[in-house]
């Protein structure tokens, strides 16, 4: 009996449950996929990397395969100072990004000098039955070390019965040396299937950064 097999057998309970100590890098190094992944598992569908990009568009992958999709934003660095990362939805495969939305936006913020803290709802950054792009991040700086990161969850975009809910959380290195924790949420007020998403800065290009699209496996 090999050492990996012995290690695994010593970490199985009488009920057949494998203890955490029984799973190591060595024991799973050759596994390439788990065919029967349980509900809630994130399935990476695509990755896009910005490089002086006016927009980042996801025009495939949003369909009835999953009921929930999650975008992850890693080190989104704007070319222009003091701008927001925004998004909009499309029902025609990306020909138009103009879904009507009603949304909310609030944030917590704290400056590096420890002189200003606040938790506030920002009425200028929400939408009321508007086709405009929705702000996700805070007003991010374009200094060499300034960027924003976060997540956006979109629920059941392929439904032809219900509106399209979304929830987003970001943290931004703001242009005036604040950290900002931003929360936006709302719904696309359409019963048409949403099949494309576009991201762009409120002004200027996305200089750098990675956006990953995941599907959440159904239970």
What is the domain count for the chain? 2
Shared-domain flag, residues 48 and 27? no
Shared-domain flag, residues 61 and 18? no
Residue 203 has pLDDT above 70, yes or no: yes
Shared-domain flag, residues 127 and 188? yes
Query: Quick one: which of 97, 92, 106 has its CA closest to 130?
Result: 97
Shared-domain flag, residues 76 and 144? yes
Shared-domain flag, residues 22 and 76? no
Its domain, for residue 29, covers 1-33
Long-range (24+ apart) CB contacts under 8 A made by 107-114 are 107/138, 107/180, 107/181, 107/182, 107/183, 108/180, 108/181, 109/138, 109/174, 109/178, 109/179, 109/180, 109/181, 110/178, 110/179, 111/176, 111/177, 111/178, 111/179, 112/177, 112/178, 113/177
Which whole number is the average pLDDT over 75-85?
98
Q: pLDDT tens digit string along 143-172?
A: 999 999 999 999 999 999 999 999 999 999
Q: Residue 191: what pLDDT? A: 98
Shared-domain flag, residues 62 and 3? no
Alpha-carbon separation of residue 94 from 56, 65, 197 (angstroms): 11, 19, 7
Shared-domain flag, residues 147 and 93? yes
CATH for 98: 2.60.120
Shared-domain flag, residues 10 and 84? no
Q: pLDDT tens digit string along 119-135?
A: 999 999 999 999 999 99
pLDDT tier, 195 (very low <50, low <70, confident <90, very high otherwise): very high
Residue 51 has pLDDT above 90, yes or no: yes
Shared-domain flag, residues 156 and 86? yes
Q: Residue 202: what pLDDT? A: 98
Shared-domain flag, residues 66 and 147? yes
Instruction: Give the mean pLDDT of the chain.
Output: 91
Shared-domain flag, residues 101 and 65? yes
Shared-domain flag, residues 91 and 136? yes
Q: pLDDT tens digit string along 3-42?
A: 555 665 676 666 565 666 666 655 555 555 555 556 789 9
């Amino acid at each position: 009996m090999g050492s990996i097999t012995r290690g695994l057998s010593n970490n199985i309970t009488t009920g057949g449950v494998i203890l955490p100590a029984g799973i190591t890098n060595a024991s799973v190094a050759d596994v390439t996929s788990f065919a029967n992944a349980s509900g809630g598992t994130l399935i990476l569908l695509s990755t896009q990397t910005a490089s002086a990009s006016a927009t980042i568009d996801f025009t495939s992958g949003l369909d009835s395969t999953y009921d929930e999709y999650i975008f992850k934003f890693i080190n989104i660095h704007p070319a222009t100072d003091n701008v927001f990362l925004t998004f909009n939805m499309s029902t025609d495969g990306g020909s138009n990004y103009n879904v009507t939305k009603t949304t909310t936006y609030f944030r917590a913020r704290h400056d590096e000098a420890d002189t200003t803290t606040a938790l506030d709802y920002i009425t200028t950054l929400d939408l009321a039955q508007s086709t405009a792009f929705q702000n996700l991040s805070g007003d991010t700086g374009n200094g060499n070390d300034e960027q924003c990161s976060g997540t956006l969850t979109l629920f059941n975009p392929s439904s032809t019965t219900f509106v399209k809910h979304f929830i987003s959380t970001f943290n931004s290195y703001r242009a005036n040396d604040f950290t900002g924790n931003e929360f936006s949420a709302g719904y696309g007020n359409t019963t048409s299937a949403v099949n494309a998403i576009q991201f762009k800065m409120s002004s200027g290009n996305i200089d750098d950064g990675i956006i990953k699209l995941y599907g959440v496996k159904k239970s």
